[in-house]
Amino acid sequence: MSTKRRPVSAKRTAAIAAAAELLAGRRFARRLYGTIAILALLAGGLTAADLSKLPHPNSTSALARSATPAAFALYSLQRETAKDSTGLKKPDTIVGTSLSGSDQGTVVVSAHRIQEYAALTSALAVVTLNDDNTSSLEIVPLTGGPPTLVPLPSLGTVGNLHAAGSNHLIGFTFTASSTTGQYWNTLFVYDINDPSAGPQAVQGIHGPVSAADWRFVPGAATLVARTDDGSTFLIDPLDSGKVSPLGTHAGILGFPGTNELAVSDPGLKVGIDPPRYSIINLSNGALAPLTLAGGAPPDNTKSGTTADGQPLVLDSSGQYAQVVRKYDAGKETSDITLTDKNGTRVLYQPAAEWSRLLDVCVSPARDYLAVETAAPQYVGDQYPVRPEPSPMRTDLVNLKSGTVLKSVPGFLPSWCG
């Protein structure tokens, strides 16, 4: 009998290589989580009984398999407090929608409890809650298929999730569950196109950044971060040497123009003078006063029955939108005003059954506002991070006319991420 082997075909060689690559990837994931678990055990952060609580995928894609990512103009998160016929809580969903038509959107992702998400060109980054209220972070492809688990540093809580869509980057803050205090609102970035690198801690001047607030610069991989003491920085998270101080500020208001950052600060006499607003040129760090349209900034102390929200600066001319809440005999009414060179006018008033305005942001093309609304009488969803009223919906409002283009279920519109 001949022992000579038949030559291996090219297809079989490719299949063997693909299988080896897949196996190596699975072994890498197991090794990575095994290493995290061992390190946590050595640090006293986990016991052997806790190993079963390591983050795991919770999300399910509702999209059919496709070679081309599904395209939606907007996403929103719909949380559920109701129970199904078996007594179990209905799953939360992320819905994708177009700007035309009257449809209520398409369910893209579902999970038992979704905390937040961020939209990329080819995927959604989704933070889900495990049974012990720790976080899982998953990348759900918009081509359908199972989610990929992002390896977190340890058991803990993810927050402040944002995406730089065109650069395949997501960023988030992470706080460890253990008492070691190794991570507290520590800012991380993760490249979904290079999963083997894992999340990378963003380095500031004195080491990893602990961010009270942060966001990506539109159209770039750089980010702006503000720490608990108000110190604000422009950082290239992919190059630890590129950190530019931007001063100390009370709040980040957004990006009204190309390479411009709007910030807020208290008045010179705190509690007496109105807030101050400024524009920072991110190219050179230059700070210039931002004069809001109308000549005077909003004053949150002007009346005990009226509260003005933080202005949403729409452009470098000082045009801004603002949520104004009024209280009368225990009842709250809200509207959105628009202030420009022609003065202030009411742009939008919600329907009576959705009369609580919670948040507002502007579309990437700066032609629509996404307005989060809730019923005047609502039930809180009791989530441990980012608790919200339930139910909620988002109105898409034309910035010129104030007409509502469309209403979609849920909150946290992707324009705000």
For 116-136, what is each residue's pLDDT tens digit?
999 999 999 999 999 999 999
Confidence band, pLDDT 50/70/90 cuts, at residue 274: confident
The length of the chain, given as a count of residues:
417
Give tens-digit pLDDT for 321-350. Answer: 999 988 887 777 899 999 998 899 999 999
398 strand-pairing partners: 368
Q: Is the pLDDT of residue 165 over 80?
A: no
Question: How many Cα neighbours within 13 Å face the side chain of 1?
Answer: 2
As a three-state string, the secondary structure of 236-254 is CCCCCCCEEEEEECCEEEE
The pLDDT score that the predictor gives to residue 93 is 97
pLDDT on residue 295: 63
DSSP string, 383-400: -SSS--EEEEEEEEEETT
The CA distance from 322 to 335, in Å, is 8
What's the pLDDT at 35?
A: 44
Q: Residue 225: is its pLDDT beyond 70?
A: yes
Tokens of 99: 């700007």
What is the CB neighbour count within 10 angstroms for residue 380? 10
**In whole numbers, what is the pLDDT of the chain averaged over residues?**
85
Residue 416 pLDDT: 87
Instruction: Look at residue 245 and tell me whether its pLDDT is greater than 60.
Output: yes
Tokens of 229: 């003491």
Residue predicted with more confidence, 393 or 178: 393
Q: What is the pLDDT of residue 211?
A: 97
Global pTM reads: 0.84
pLDDT of residue 76: 97
Task: Determine the average pLDDT of the residues in 385-392.
Answer: 92
How far is C-alpha 70 from the chain's CA centre? 20
| pLDDT for the residue 369 | 96
Mean pLDDT over 78-105 rounds to 91
pLDDT above 70 for 39: no
**Extended strands (E) in 59-193:** 60-61, 74-78, 92-97, 106-111, 114-119, 123-129, 135-141, 148-149, 156-164, 169-176, 186-191
Closest among 144, 116, 142, 120 to 129, alpha carbons compared: 116
Average pLDDT over residues 231-255: 93
Closest by CA to 280, choosing from 311, 304, 313, 247, is 247
The yes-or-no verdict on residue 158 having pLDDT over 90 is yes
Three-class SS state of 362: strand
Tokens representing residue 157 in the block: 């809580």
Mean local confidence (pLDDT), 161-190: 90
Q: What span, in angstroms and rounded, lies between the C-alpha atoms of 414 and 115?
A: 14
Output the pLDDT for position 178.
Answer: 78
Residue 16 pLDDT exceeds 60:
no
- Write down the pLDDT at residue 180: 65
Instruction: Scan for tokens 């969903």, then name that residue.
Output: 93
The b-or-e profile of 159-191 (16+ CB within 10 A means b, else e) is: bbbbbbbebbbbbbbbbbbbeeebbebbbbbbb
Contact between 43 and 156 under an 8 Å Cβ cutoff? The reply is no
What is the model's pLDDT at position 305?
79
- Mean of the pLDDT values across residues 168-185? 89
Residues above pLDDT 70, as percent of the chain: 84
Residue 101 confidence (pLDDT): 80
**pLDDT per position as a tens digit, 256-272:** 887 999 999 988 887 77
pLDDT band, residue 4 (cuts 50/70/90): very low
* DSSP code at position 89: B
Is residue 18 scored above 80 in pLDDT? no
